[in-house]
Structure 1
Amino acid sequence: MEVYLKPLTKKDAEPLYVFELENRDFFERMVPGRGDEYYVSDIFHEKYNDLLDEQSRREGFFYLIKDEQGSIMGRMNVSLDPSTGVGEVGYRVGCDFTGQGVACRALALLLERMESEKISQLEAKTTSAHIASIKVLKKNGFTYIGTSDDTFTMHGQEQRFVHYRWSSQTLNEGHI
């Protein structure tokens, strides 16, 4: 299965909204939820338009992960800190596409794009229990930088955020 990264466009708003609704329960088993408001159509579309604006100002890079037929398999986001130029990467893959290497391949594509955009450092975080996400980050050359002291409870289990960092130097050293 081929994996493609496609920048967000206006025409993807409704398909992404459906994708998010269909995968909400699955996503919320892995990471803290976005709240009920996020899934209200008008609010979702408003937030989507905000992302398009941010993307047009090059303050962030927002992609859909798609297959050969153009179906949405997931999404990847990079939000830039304007004061440092460091990006924070986030991603999610729909439940029908997990365990197939989609996140790993999509993140590799994203890192290549970030290097071409002259983004030399990315940070990522995941929950301490999200082992699959940790593996994806490590396979793509992210290095562990620490675990948050703050805890939160998710599904009755105490969690912490685990933080990772990538630099374009890691890519150039052939870690991907």
Structure 2
Amino acid sequence: MTKLERLRADHAPALLAFERENREFFARSIPDRGDAYFSEFAARHRALLAEQDAGACHFHVVVDERGDLLGRVNLVDVQDGNAELGYRIGEHATRRGVATAAVAEVCGLAAAAYGLTSLVARTTTDNPASQRVLARNGFTVVGDTTLSGRPGIRYHRRLSEPAP
């Protein structure tokens, strides 16, 4: 069983370890964060919390029953009832429905707790697992995009419409 927690200051050590542990895995299907992300992590984490406090973003971590961090699910660029969804699940937690459940939970929070009406998401074309997660959660393809020079797909979901 997993649970979504709103990002807090005390998540920093586990989150940094999670990102380091999964860096190579993530780079296979999504653009790499780069070395600066890791060397400037503490300042970046503080900045994310400030953005969250200002209501510009909503950051979450996915934890298991022991409190181990399995992933993250974020809503960024919140404006006029809209936000962009982003998520990443660690390699050891894949193929267990963790991403699908976490995205479903954050979609519910987006509407009920954050007052959002629609979400957009993007994934690379070579990431079928992420494409399935979005489809299972009611996102529809709206076009093509580029993610750090890689071909991608744009998705949209109105939060007033239930997921299939």
Bin of the TM-score, shorter chain as denominator length: over 0.9
Q: 2:31·2:148 contact (CA, 8 Å) conserved in 1?
A: no
User: When the two structures are superposed, what TM-score results if normalisation uses the length of structure 1?
Assistant: 0.88
| 1:12-58 residue CA offsets vs partner (Å, 9 max, x unmatched) | 10111011001100011111111111111xx1111111110011111
| 1:135-160 residue CA offsets vs partner (Å, 9 max, x unmatched) | 00000000110112x5876xxxxx41
The CA RMSD over aligned residues, in Å, is 1.4
Which is higher, the Rg of structure 1 or of structure 2?
1
| 1:71 matches 2:71 | no
| 1:105 matches 2:101 | yes
| 1:167 matches 2:158 | yes
Identity of aligned residues (%): 34
Q: Distance in 1 between matches of 2:151 and 2:51?
A: 29
Q: Which amino acid aligns with 2:29?
A: M
Deviation (angstroms), 1:86: 1.3
User: When the two structures are superposed, what TM-score results if normalisation uses the length of structure 2?
Assistant: 0.94
Q: Distance in 1 between matches of 2:128 and 2:140?
A: 15
Q: How many residues align?
A: 163
Q: Which amino acid aligns with 1:163?
A: R
For structure 2, which runs of at least 5 residues remain unmatched after alignment?
Answer: none
- SS for the counterpart of 1:103 is helix
Runs of 4 or more off by more than 3 Å in structure 1?
A: 150-153
For structure 1, which runs of at least 5 residues remain unmatched after alignment?
Answer: 154-158
* TM-aligned CA distance change 1:99 to 1:9, over 3 Å: same
- SS for the counterpart of 1:18 is helix
Within 5 Å, give how 1:138-157 maps onto structure 2. Answer: 138-148=135-145, 150=146
